[in-house]
Chain A
């Protein structure tokens, strides 16, 4: 534990110590610093630096939960926040399942998710990275008309949680990233592509990869047209796979399942996917950007197998949803920061990699739509019904290789059918920011709508 984490934990423990008899009290405190830099036409367009801190307090009295938060660690404000949380609890409906986590004897995995370089690197060096990124993107290809954004960003966050039920835990992590969007043009046609690189610290960033990705994605879309409507196989880019796994994960949350909001409810033990599909949420894998030593309720994170050889094995639970389901927490409580309460969710999903690389998958599939990016995920994918319809752009696959570009089409199916129609899962795992890693995945029988 760092000195700063110790300080936060001490504060959390002290406030949690104020619990009255018959009351469960949980205090979550967090603190972080952030830098965001945007370069444009050789100049710094903006440089933001910020430090923020806050506290979120949960009180459970007789199965009634109340919550309050404040964007400060000022102790007089924290006292008022505690009083608000207590008052709020009196208005909830009593529920025997509602309660805070208690120690469950699982020891946390030791993970190094912190790179001091985020704090040590001077602003000037970070500015230079953003400028360099923009310069390289602008000069990478004659077809690049414009660099819509070239950003450097980083954050270092520390949090502590303590409760009257015996929880004391801390976690800290850093993330550093560069992201760039290029606009490629030919005559009246303009197309965009985003590339990025993310790591624990600035020293590990790969500017050339970010630029090459953006340039490839924007230039290869030039001349794209609508494709004809019809049934086809799709080959998903690793980023698209990661996005889709994140949507599927909301149907694997114990909260959704116990409240009848998941198409996976009541299906444990059934074959929900092709036999080659294995899906695991493992926040103890340090390669994942969602890795964490503890969950948001202070339990040690652990590896949870969700789908094994196509068979649904279980869900992710926080304490309350686990009690409702009659199981124990899988240490999968997540929270969006001090201003929200913990809920069950995945952090670090990974599909077990297959043996084929991206090029092999294209060659095996023969004819398909390679999907470079999708849009409308939040409006078009329903994790309750499983209905799936998203905007897509990419390239046709003909004779096993990438052919002409395609835009302004949709691909549709249901999540249930897609899981049963997976043709190939690639070996090309990419660790991406977000809750899921991605790799090339081919799925058969999608409805493509175009002209």
Chain B
């Protein structure tokens, strides 16, 4: 991370924060926290052959949280003056009805561990250079085939400086820089229109484009659209499924990640309640949530409650080892946070969220897994997904998939949703390869979106229901 937000330049000075925390506790609060955020972002879109718009924005503000017993009060403000912060503190403190109490808070600055150095802050790069990337991507996508009828390319960067202080005396800051690039294409053929999408996104600065060629991102998006012009309807019913490495980490994010969030556990709203120590997956499955992996999309130095990012093993060789925790859920269970307390921005309360969630490598060769699968569906890219943590039922959409016949990929398939049950699917994984890869995603929960990473090696599931229309 850049130096700007760590050793120097707190967004709000320490004595002010101490007074605000004092005010937040004055009605008898047991815990108080001030979260300050200053966010700059830039985005640019090229669509229909034109640079449509360059947009820049700034949002800054603070949220004050007060915890009394089982109750949390929260208020936020865009006014970072002491007066504005004190007003938010008083509003948040209003949940503490018993009154009285109150204590002074003395803060001690804690340095956050740097995860990676930002090579080039996006704000220091000219807008013209960012636009140039869009033009390159548009040209590359259109050069991929005459059937490409529409291209939209999108560039975005964001710098998020945060500062967290709480009544335990912690004061910590982080400076999070993220950069992303995506392309979506439409291809037109005799069978109608098809779409393709590809993105690249990392917790890095503009140096992203030293290693990522936007023309390749564009060509991948175009290829996905073109391939589907000749696609046949996906099968309908239960099939063996191979997920290509890096194509479908979202499956584990949805199928079990959400069910391992301690807030769902606390409310009995997860199929994994009471399962720690139990065999919940095939022995081939080791699942990790790790916010410390330098440049990945879901990484950070400290979470939005001021705790350092951690590597947490959730499932070890099929055995459930632990859930993911934020401050509040940890407090109720007399344990610490696991560095999973995150929020979309200062307008929201933090909650238990994943960071980068992935399945570790196995021993198999990806080619062998395919060769040993007589029939089934091969997924080269999954789209979004959704889960009901209480039942474990999930869905996710395919955006690039092929039919497997006699151990070979044959025809491309039109988009369809896969549906399954988390615990069942985890038990049905019978082959895991050694070719791990990750990708970026956006996770939505309770109305809040945060950047996450997902990953897995190539693997096979013995049976998943695919919702195509083949047979019509």
Taking Cβ atoms with an 8 Å cutoff, the residues of A that contact B are 40-41, 43-54, 65-72, 77, 81, 84, 87-89, 91-93, 95, 98, 123, 145-146, 148, 183, 190-192, 226, 229, 259-261, 263, 339, 341, 375-376, 378-380, 382, 384-387, 389-391, 393, 407-414, 447-451
Taking a contact as CB atoms under 8 Å apart, the answer to whether A385 and B192 are in contact is yes
- In the bound complex, residues from chain B placing their C-beta under 8 Å from that of A260 are 149-150, 186, 188, 193
- In the bound complex, residues from chain B placing their C-beta under 8 Å from that of A413 are 469
Taking a contact as CB atoms under 8 Å apart, the answer to whether B349 and A66 are in contact is no
Q: What is the CB-to-nearest-CB distance from B44 to chain A, in angstroms, rounded to a whole number?
A: 7
- In the bound complex, residues from chain A placing their C-beta under 8 Å from that of B149 are 260
- In the bound complex, residues from chain A placing their C-beta under 8 Å from that of B403 are none
Which chain B residues numbered 150 to 207 have a C-beta less than 8 Å away from chain A?
Answer: 150, 186, 188, 192-195
Given A47-B95, A389-B415, A450-B237, also A67-B73 (CB < 8 A)? no
- In the bound complex, residues from chain A placing their C-beta under 8 Å from that of B194 are 384-385
- In the bound complex, residues from chain B placing their C-beta under 8 Å from that of A148 are 267, 269, 390
Taking a contact as CB atoms under 8 Å apart, the answer to whether B416 and A91 are in contact is no
- In the bound complex, residues from chain B placing their C-beta under 8 Å from that of A50 are 74-77, 347
Taking a contact as CB atoms under 8 Å apart, the answer to whether B50 and A92 are in contact is yes
- In the bound complex, residues from chain A placing their C-beta under 8 Å from that of B127 are 87-88, 91
Pick the contact of B150: A51, A192, A259 (CB < 8 A).
A259
Give me 11 other A-B pairs in contact (C-beta within 8 A), A391-B467, A449-B419, A450-B465 excluded: A40-B267, A52-B347, A77-B58, A91-B51, A146-B268, A263-B193, A341-B53, A378-B397, A379-B384, A384-B195, A414-B469
Q: What is the CB-to-nearest-CB distance from A48 to chain B, in angstroms, rounded to a whole number?
A: 4
Please tell me which stretch of B64-72, B216-224, B279-287, B454-462 contacts chain A, meaning at least 4 of its Cβ atoms lie within 8 angstroms of it: B64-72
Taking a contact as CB atoms under 8 Å apart, the answer to whether B71 and A46 are in contact is yes
- Looking at chain B's contact residues, the main secondary structure is strand
Taking a contact as CB atoms under 8 Å apart, the answer to whether A48 and B75 are in contact is yes
- In the bound complex, residues from chain A placing their C-beta under 8 Å from that of B57 are 68-71, 339
Given A190-B391, A259-B150, also A47-B74 (CB < 8 A)? yes
Pick the contact of B393: A47, A49, A123, A407 (CB < 8 A).
A407
Q: Tell yes or no: B59 within 8 A of A by CB.
A: yes
- In the bound complex, residues from chain A placing their C-beta under 8 Å from that of B384 are 376, 378-379
- In the bound complex, residues from chain B placing their C-beta under 8 Å from that of A70 are 57-59
Pick the contact of A408: B55, B150, B228, B420 (CB < 8 A).
B420
**Lowest 5 A-B CB distances belong to which pairs?**
A410-B467, A379-B397, A376-B395, A391-B395, A71-B59
Q: Tell yes or no: B139 within 8 A of A by CB.
A: no
Cα–Cα distance between A412 and B472 once the two chains are bound (Å): 11
Given A410-B417, A447-B471, also A93-B50 (CB < 8 A)? yes
Given A190-B391, A380-B415, A386-B192, also A408-B468 (CB < 8 A)? no
Which chain B residues numbered 45 to 100 have a C-beta less than 8 Å away from chain A?
Answer: 46-61, 69-78, 91, 94-95
Q: What is the CB-to-nearest-CB distance from A389 to chain B, in angstroms, rounded to a whole number?
A: 4
Which chain B residues numbered 383 to 414 have a C-beta less than 8 Å away from chain A?
Answer: 383-386, 388, 390-391, 393-397, 414
Q: Tell yes or no: B236 within 8 A of A by CB.
A: yes
Q: What is the CB-to-nearest-CB distance from B404 to chain A, in angstroms, rounded to a whole number?
A: 18
Given A43-B71, A375-B386, A380-B467, also A51-B193 (CB < 8 A)? no
6 contacts between A and B (CB under 8 A): A91-B127, A190-B390, A376-B397, A379-B395, A380-B467, A410-B465
Taking a contact as CB atoms under 8 Å apart, the answer to whether A44 and B95 are in contact is yes
Q: What is the CB-to-nearest-CB distance from B191 to chain A, in angstroms, rounded to a whole number?
A: 9
Q: Tell yes or no: B379 within 8 A of A by CB.
A: no
Cα–Cα distance between A387 and B469 once the two chains are bound (Å): 10
Taking a contact as CB atoms under 8 Å apart, the answer to whether A192 and B236 are in contact is no
Cα–Cα distance between A386 and B192 once the two chains are bound (Å): 9
Task: Name, among A72, A378, A379, the residue most crowded by chain B CB atoms within 10 Å (CB to CB).
Answer: A379
Q: What is the CB-to-nearest-CB distance from B53 to chain A, in angstroms, rounded to a whole number?
A: 5
Q: What is the CB-to-nearest-CB distance from B229 to chain A, in angstroms, rounded to a whole number?
A: 10
Q: Tell yes or no: B435 within 8 A of A by CB.
A: no
Taking a contact as CB atoms under 8 Å apart, the answer to whether A387 and B417 are in contact is no
Taking a contact as CB atoms under 8 Å apart, the answer to whether B268 and A145 are in contact is yes
Taking a contact as CB atoms under 8 Å apart, the answer to whether A411 and B467 are in contact is yes
Cα–Cα distance between A375 and B48 once the two chains are bound (Å): 31
- In the bound complex, residues from chain A placing their C-beta under 8 Å from that of B51 are 91-93
Given A49-B75, A67-B54, A390-B395, also A91-B415 (CB < 8 A)? no
Q: What is the CB-to-nearest-CB distance from B5 to chain A, in angstroms, rounded to a whole number?
A: 19
Q: What is the CB-to-nearest-CB distance from A214 to chain B, in angstroms, rounded to a whole number?
A: 13
- In the bound complex, residues from chain B placing their C-beta under 8 Å from that of A447 are 236, 467-469, 471-472
Q: Tell yes or no: B434 within 8 A of A by CB.
A: no
Taking a contact as CB atoms under 8 Å apart, the answer to whether B56 and A391 are in contact is no
Taking a contact as CB atoms under 8 Å apart, the answer to whether A449 and B128 are in contact is no
Q: What is the CB-to-nearest-CB distance from A328 to chain B, in angstroms, rounded to a whole number?
A: 20
Taking a contact as CB atoms under 8 Å apart, the answer to whether A88 and B55 are in contact is yes
- Looking at chain A's contact residues, the main secondary structure is strand
Given A43-B71, A93-B50, also A412-B467 (CB < 8 A)? yes
Binary contact track B357-389/A, C-beta < 8 Å → 1, others 0: 000000000000000000000000011111010
Taking a contact as CB atoms under 8 Å apart, the answer to whether A259 and B48 are in contact is yes
Cα–Cα distance between A190 and B385 once the two chains are bound (Å): 21
Cα–Cα distance between A387 and B383 once the two chains are bound (Å): 14
Taking Cβ atoms with an 8 Å cutoff, the residues of B that contact A are 44, 46-61, 69-78, 91, 94-95, 127-128, 131, 149-150, 186, 188, 192-195, 228, 234, 236-238, 267-269, 271, 347, 349, 382-386, 388, 390-391, 393-397, 414-417, 419-421, 465-469, 471-472
Cα–Cα distance between A294 and B150 once the two chains are bound (Å): 32
Taking a contact as CB atoms under 8 Å apart, the answer to whether A385 and B193 are in contact is yes
Task: Name, among A77, A192, A263, A376, the residue most crowded by chain B CB atoms within 10 Å (CB to CB).
Answer: A376
Pick the contact of A390: B69, B128, B467, B469 (CB < 8 A).
B467
Cα–Cα distance between A8 and B54 once the two chains are bound (Å): 26
Taking a contact as CB atoms under 8 Å apart, the answer to whether A46 and B72 are in contact is yes
Q: What is the CB-to-nearest-CB distance from B430 to chain A, in angstroms, rounded to a whole number?
A: 19
Cα–Cα distance between A439 and B6 once the two chains are bound (Å): 55
Taking a contact as CB atoms under 8 Å apart, the answer to whether B78 and A52 are in contact is yes
Q: What is the CB-to-nearest-CB distance from B139 to chain A, in angstroms, rounded to a whole number?
A: 14
- In the bound complex, residues from chain A placing their C-beta under 8 Å from that of B150 are 259-261
Q: What is the CB-to-nearest-CB distance from A337 to chain B, in angstroms, rounded to a whole number?
A: 11
Given A68-B57, A259-B48, A385-B193, also A410-B71 (CB < 8 A)? no
Cα–Cα distance between A384 and B194 once the two chains are bound (Å): 7
Cα–Cα distance between A229 and B465 once the two chains are bound (Å): 10
Cα–Cα distance between A77 and B60 once the two chains are bound (Å): 11
Taking a contact as CB atoms under 8 Å apart, the answer to whether A390 and B417 are in contact is yes
Taking a contact as CB atoms under 8 Å apart, the answer to whether A71 and B60 are in contact is yes
Q: Which residue of B lies closest to A147 (CB)?
A: B267
Q: What is the CB-to-nearest-CB distance from A244 to chain B, in angstroms, rounded to a whole number?
A: 14
Given A52-B347, A71-B61, also A451-B188 (CB < 8 A)? no
Q: What is the CB-to-nearest-CB distance from B261 to chain A, in angstroms, rounded to a whole number?
A: 13
Q: What is the CB-to-nearest-CB distance from B162 to chain A, in angstroms, rounded to a whole number?
A: 15
Cα–Cα distance between A376 and B387 once the two chains are bound (Å): 9
- In the bound complex, residues from chain A placing their C-beta under 8 Å from that of B471 are 447
- In the bound complex, residues from chain B placing their C-beta under 8 Å from that of A192 are 269, 388, 390-391
Cα–Cα distance between A88 and B55 once the two chains are bound (Å): 7
Q: What is the CB-to-nearest-CB distance from B345 to chain A, in angstroms, rounded to a whole number?
A: 9
Cα–Cα distance between A46 and B95 once the two chains are bound (Å): 9
Taking a contact as CB atoms under 8 Å apart, the answer to whether B55 and A67 are in contact is yes
Given A48-B75, A190-B391, A191-B391, also A376-B269 (CB < 8 A)? no
Cα–Cα distance between A190 and B259 once the two chains are bound (Å): 14
Pick the contact of B193: A44, A339, A384, A448 (CB < 8 A).
A384
Taking a contact as CB atoms under 8 Å apart, the answer to whether A49 and B91 are in contact is yes
Q: Which residue of B lies closest to A70 (CB)?
A: B58
Taking a contact as CB atoms under 8 Å apart, the answer to whether B269 and A183 are in contact is yes
- In the bound complex, residues from chain A placing their C-beta under 8 Å from that of B269 are 146, 148, 183, 192
Pick the contact of A92: B53, B237, B386, B395 (CB < 8 A).
B53
Q: What is the CB-to-nearest-CB distance from A34 to chain B, in angstroms, rounded to a whole number?
A: 9
Taking a contact as CB atoms under 8 Å apart, the answer to whether B70 and A410 are in contact is no
- In the bound complex, residues from chain B placing their C-beta under 8 Å from that of A191 are 390-391
Taking a contact as CB atoms under 8 Å apart, the answer to whether B54 and A88 are in contact is yes
Cα–Cα distance between A341 and B194 once the two chains are bound (Å): 27
- In the bound complex, residues from chain B placing their C-beta under 8 Å from that of A390 are 395, 417, 467
